[in-house]
Chain A
Amino acid sequence: MKRRQFNKALAVAGALAAVNPFAIVRAQAQKLRVGVILPRSGYLGFIGQSCQKGADLAPGVIKELLGVELELMNADFESNVDTARTRAERLIQEGAHVLVGPFDSGAASAIAQVAEQRGIPFVINIAAAPQITEQGYKFVFRNFQTAGDIVRNGLDLIGELFQATSTVPRTAVFMHVNDTFGQAMAKGINAVLPRRTQLPFKIVDQIGYDPAAKDLSVEVSKAKATNADFLLLVCRLNDAIILRREMVKQRWQPMGIVSPGSPGMYEEQYFKTLGKLSEYSISNVPWYNPKSNMTQRVEAAFKKANPKDNLVFHGLNVGFTFEAILIAADAFKRAKSTDPKALAEAIRQTNITEKMSLGGPIKFNDKGQVEGIGSACVQNLNLLPTVVLPQEAATAKPVFPVPGYKKT
């Protein structure tokens, strides 16, 4: 480059800089750094890894969709609430503009405190304990049903299940994990069930167990002894596998296992580990709409990234994790800034109609909670989680009582 050309270039650059004094700020705002906190190891490890698949495909799909650049900063909280808190602190220190995660209510409560103290928006993908969005937090948002919503929708779907199969079970034994989520669900069920007079059954015993339990033989013995018609179960993944095996060992065959809204029985690992024993388990959970355009996009990206895997085993985890990142990206696009207050305000104004999950648009109420997320009755049929209710979304008919049912 000659001296004259160099001077010209310098003059042009100087003029551009003078006209646009905020160029540096804009350059900084070209990329949103998303801190993704998930339990990729420990007893929630399989589910955390499943959620991570949704996070991993989000930058590509969102770039195509919104033209927004995302940088994921991944952190594993090892299924430990204290670790979740420290990982959140570290992600903020390292420059995360927004936090997303963590699948677990206990961890979500801990991260929410950090996010609120540090003034960084936190979008919860999956966590149901109601109190998280009842604290008056300004930076905490949740696109997932609360335990109360899950229970209400889950119990309503149980009523629909009994109607659809013309069965009238009279008793249920209620088993639940004894963690923040399990206790919130138990509280919800105990509050809502007496008001659902159309449901024909009563709970004859309630058995809480350690979510990290290695052996559930006593718990299953106790449940079997109640002679209940069916098992109402709020579980995680590992305990669901242990429990199902123990039921077979103890030859307990109730009318069915029905979850009014918990993970575990629709997860890929449940099918892989249990094979045919995974059949007929029922989970009434927030689910995704397989027919939506967004699902088609995500499914295509999922297949590309995981050619040997099937989205149906990860639908809930991938769907809600992807949507949490989508919410952050959409807010970033509108806010045109990574300023935490501007981002939080933009998230508050979210109105996403094109989405994966069932139910209405993604809109936050004053508490930072999305309302109107739909649930589906998902039964394991032919080794696949299959929507059997509500009828408009169903791809198969429900089976209840399950084959092999024997009144003991």
Chain B
Amino acid sequence: MPAADLVANVVVSGILTGLVYGLMALGLSVIFGVVRVVNFAHGEMMTIAMYAATALFAALKLDPFLAMLPVAAAFFVFGYLLQAGLINPFITRPEHSQFMLLVAVAIILVNAMLMVFGPDARNVQVDYQLESFELGPLLVDKARLFAAIAAVVAAAAFFAFFRYTLTGKAIRACADNYLGARIVGLNVKHLYALTFGLGAVCVAIAGCAMVLLVDVTPPLGPSYTLLAFVIVIVGGLGSMGGALLGGVLIGVSEALAGLFITPSAKSMFSFGLLILVLLLRPQGLLGKRA
């Protein structure tokens, strides 16, 4: 049986990583919750954000936490244009058309990354990357802690935006009743594009934080897309709180599975958790029944 301090360290590490996962999945959840389109290029977009952070670091020595601002701005524009120009015409089309469209976007993004950045792993080397805080028996990785804090702050800002601003309320109205929103005069297509842009901002911030924890390669995208799906299904598709909760649960369950069983079985446990949730609570932990 592992010692208590070892378990505590692993759980803390799992929670911190899970919060970053949660922010990434939050983007997927927001987009689906409002636009009702599943973004199959989500992980690939996150990988691009990671590359953007490494490029800014290499060119300007810009810390990934500072890089979040320009990368998020660029991603907002990219997300807005993607929705306005490409996805909006597919909103009323069958789901398989939407699926194929976004899978095609994902494949194009992966290949574009291979052409631009090559196949080799890239990372950033900031001063604090190898440092840790010692809190009693806990040893907390600085980069992981900062990344988790950034994820929580970003998620809180999103909650506040959707709850307290007029635009946020308008977006929620679109999500609740598409026809009703149109009848009261809301520009639904603009709001959809805005939502996709905001989902892309989530991904951008998560990507900049994640690059401090893992090296980036183009093939990373599909695994993050899959991870985001697992998280939002566990947490509840369309639920913002559910995405964060799902992220933390997946992060912790993977860490504990690695500790108590075998590290090679980590993914097996996240998928096991997914099956369990699908069987016992198909709408996800914080999701609403259809």
A209 and B264: CB pair below 8 A? Answer: yes
A215 and B214: CB pair below 8 A? Answer: yes
Q: How large is the interface on A (under 10, 10 to 19, 20 to 34, 35 or more residues)?
A: 20 to 34
Listed stretches A63-71, A153-161, A248-256, A333-341; interface member:
A248-256
B223 to A, closest residue via Cβ? A214
If the complex has contacts A42-B119, A249-B141, A251-B139, are A221 and B264 also in contact, measured as CB distance less than 8 A? no
Complex contacts, A221 vs chain B, CB 8 Å:
6, 9-10, 13, 259
Complex contacts, A250 vs chain B, CB 8 Å:
132, 139, 141
Query: Smallest CB–CB gap between B116 and chain A, Å?
Result: 14
A245 to B, closest residue via Cβ? B130
Complex contacts, B136 vs chain A, CB 8 Å:
none
Complex contacts, A208 vs chain B, CB 8 Å:
262-264
Query: Smallest CB–CB gap between B89 and chain A, Å?
Result: 35
Query: Smallest CB–CB gap between A190 and chain B, Å?
Result: 16
Contact with B along A239-269 (1 / 0, CB 8 A): 0011001001111000000000000000000
- CB-contact partner of B3 in A210, A215, A225, under 8 A: A225
Tell me whether B2 is interfacial, beta carbon within 8 Å: yes
Complex contacts, B120 vs chain A, CB 8 Å:
41, 45-46
B258 and A222: CB pair below 8 A? Answer: yes
B220 and A218: CB pair below 8 A? Answer: no
Complex contacts, B263 vs chain A, CB 8 Å:
207-210, 213, 216, 218-219, 222
B3 to A, closest residue via Cβ? A225
If the complex has contacts A217-B141, A238-B215, A250-B139, are A222 and B2 also in contact, measured as CB distance less than 8 A? yes
Cα separation A218 to B118 with both chains bound (whole Å) = 29
Cα separation A216 to B263 with both chains bound (whole Å) = 9
Complex contacts, A225 vs chain B, CB 8 Å:
2-3, 6
Q: Restricting to B253-290, which residues have a CB under 8 Å from any CB of A?
A: 254-255, 258-259, 262-264, 266
Q: Restricting to A21-53, which residues have a CB under 8 Å from any CB of B?
A: 40-43, 45-46
B258 to A, closest residue via Cβ? A218
- CB-contact partner of B214 in A41, A214, A219, under 8 A: A214
Complex contacts, B264 vs chain A, CB 8 Å:
178, 208-210
Tell me whether B74 is interfacial, beta carbon within 8 Å: no
Complex contacts, B219 vs chain A, CB 8 Å:
42
A214 to B, closest residue via Cβ? B214
B132 and A249: CB pair below 8 A? Answer: yes
Cα separation A210 to B6 with both chains bound (whole Å) = 21
Tell me whether B17 is interfacial, beta carbon within 8 Å: yes
If the complex has contacts A42-B219, A208-B263, are A215 and B9 also in contact, measured as CB distance less than 8 A? no
**Chain A residues within CB distance 8 Å of chain B:** 40-43, 45-46, 78, 178, 207-210, 213-219, 221-222, 225, 238, 241-242, 245, 248-251, 273, 277
Beyond A217-B255, A218-B13, A249-B130, 12 additional pairs, beta carbon < 8 A: A41-B120, A208-B262, A214-B220, A216-B263, A217-B141, A218-B255, A222-B259, A225-B3, A225-B6, A238-B215, A250-B132, A250-B139
Q: Could you write out 5 A-B pairs with CB less than 8 Å apart?
A: A40-B119, A41-B118, A43-B217, A250-B141, A277-B130
